[in-house]
Amino acid sequence: GENVEQHPSTLSVQEGDSAVIKCTYSDSASNYFPWYKQELGKRPQLIIDIRSNVGEKKDQRIAVTLNKTAKHFSLHITETQPEDSAVYFCAASRADSNYQLIWGAGTKLIIKP
Partner 1 sequence: ETGVTQTPRHLVMGMTNKKSLKCEQHLGHNAMYWYKQSAKKPLELMFVYSLEERVENNSVPSRFSPECPNSSHLFLHLHTLQPEDSALYLCASSQSGREQFFGPGTRLTVL
Strand partners, 86: 109
Q: Which of 85, 89, 92, 107 binds partner 1 (CB under 8 A)?
A: 89
Closer Cβ to partner 1, 32 or 78, answer by number: 32
Judge whether 10 and 110 are in contact, CB under 8 Å: yes
Long-range contacts of 68-71 (CB under 8 A, 24+ apart): 68/28, 70/24, 71/24, 71/25, 71/26, 71/28
Candidate segments 12-20, 22-30, 42-50, 65-73, binder of partner 1 by CB under 8 A: 42-50
Closer Cβ to partner 1, 49 or 78, answer by number: 49
Q: Which of 8, 12, 14, 46 binds partner 1 (CB under 8 A)?
A: 46
- Least spacing, CB of residue 47 vs partner 1, in Å: 10
Residues engaged in binding partner 1 (CB under 8 A): 4, 9, 32, 34, 42-46, 49, 89, 93, 97-101, 103-106
